[in-house]
Amino acid sequence: MTKNKLIVFVKNEEAGKVKTRLAETIGDEKALEVYRQLLAFTQSQSREVMAEKEVWYSSYIPQKDRWNEGGFLKKKQTGDDLGKRMSDAFNGSFHQEERGKVVLIGSDCPGLNTEIIEEAFLQLNKHDVVIGPASDGGYYLIGMRKFIPEIFKGIAWSTNSVFKDSVKIINKKGLSVFVLDKLNDIDTVEDLVNFELRTLNSER
């Protein structure tokens, strides 16, 4: 029986190293607190997904943190840039025996819930790649049913063309792709304010 896997990419909880664009406005400590809230949300949503689950840290693997709960295997990211880190994670996953579909998500998207992640796995029954575009031009989720290394090559990471350029590569290879709904990451104070306003309005 093939096994699906969910990979969660996170940054270690260190002030000055997370949400750096947001920290320029609200300070390192407050930015760290925002990121911790995003991590808690991501953990609560991903732990309910019916798949093997792994959390991949940016710098080191802590012995005890929130990810000790929920059945997550802990690993450390490898590679010099985001593309190489994601590529290594997918490559290692698909080299395991009886691997099915693999979905990778980030940890700073407050709109990414269990239902969307499960929809990604479902769409991989019919498509080669599934991708979730972010409002800043990147993406918050990418999944595939076989390893496609070209998707992570030749991309200018942390720019507003990441999603667009990635889809071009997928199309050029003649692969089918399913695009999920666009969601907002929390990278700037404007993102944070807009999210808090939407949350407030939805609770009324």
The string of pLDDT tens digits covering residues 24-44 is 999 999 999 999 999 999 999
The string of pLDDT tens digits covering residues 180-193 is 999 998 988 888 88
Q: How would you list the strands of the sheet with 99-105, edge to edge?
A: 72-76, 52-57, 3-10, 99-105, 139-144, 129-133, 177-179
What is the pTM for the complete model shown?
0.93
